[in-house]
Copies of this chain bind each other. A is one copy, B any other.
Amino acid sequence: MSAPPAHRLLARLRHFTVFSPEERNAINSACGGSALVARQRRDLIREGDRPRGVPLILEGWAFRYKTLEDGRRQIIALHLPGDLCDIHGSILRKMDHSIGALTQVRYVELTRDQIDDLAALGPRVHQALWWDSLTTAAIQREWTVNLGQRDALERLSHLFCELIFRLRAVGMIDGLRCEIPLTQTDLAEATGMTPVHVNRMVQELRSRQLIRWKGREFEALDLDGLCDVAMFNPAYLHLDHEGRHLDALG
């Protein structure tokens, strides 16, 4: 509760660079505005809206999605605590997709000026913000690969692997256990399959002793095995720091 507002964000950025205490303070105070709350399954921003500030997720999970005329819906991205949704998105005049709350979400909306002020703190912060949007783009590319080339079991495993690594980067995993507040229908919309087939694949991963999953409690029983099934290579997350993996940073 009393964690500084940019706690998760800083945890993530730490994988790119090391900030001075002043920089950390500045980032924290920029993010210290009054938090907004989106109720579960409500939208933060809807397609067609004029973008306002940049949402920074403090607590809860959000997701971007796009709906086709005939109702089919694709989840385009998942956002965990510490994620900035679309820095500089306000340059575009209209949202071309929506952002919704998967769980209840606490967030702040950074203004364009706040972002600019942060960037003006110096090259380290400036680059860290760029790093943030570049890694977001890299994740989007990987989702493209996932949907285009992997089969159902691989796609699902890959998504689980990505979530594990991303949750670890913001300190939200306990060993190989974490909370995954997604329904199988959500997974279906994210991986381009039907809920029925997601269920089949979940069963398959369970029977191979790769995962345990009940309610929101998720555990990777064999992360290496899961990565193998998914052909998961975490390089695209760009979480290693100058070649050393973060673990080495203590």
Residues of chain A touching chain B, judged by Cβ–Cβ distance below 8 Å, are: 64, 66, 68-70, 72-74, 76-77, 86, 88-89, 91-94, 96-97, 127, 130-131, 133-138, 140-145, 147-150, 189-192, 231, 235-236, 238, 242-243
Does B192 lie within 8 Å of A147, measured CB to CB?
A: yes
Among candidates B76, B191, B243, residue contacting A141 with C-beta atoms closer than 8 Å: B76
Known: A238-B93, A238-B96. A137 touches B134 (CB 8 A): no
Query: Cβ of A231 and Cβ of B70 under 8 Å apart?
Result: yes
**Given A89-B134, A141-B64, are A149 and B192 neighbors across the interface (CB < 8 Å)?**
yes
Please report the C-alpha to C-alpha distance between residue A243 and residue B94 in the assembled complex, in whole angstroms: 10
Copies in the complex: 2
Chain B nearest CB from A191 CB (Å) reads 7
Q: How far is the CA of A187 from the CA of B70 in the complex (A)?
A: 25
Q: Which residues from chain B contact A149 at a C-beta distance below 8 Å? A: 68, 72-74, 192
Min CB distance A51 to B, Å, is 10
Contacts of A150 in B (CB 8 A): 68
B134 engages A93 (CB within 8 Å):
no
- CA A77 to CA B140, docked complex, whole Å: 11
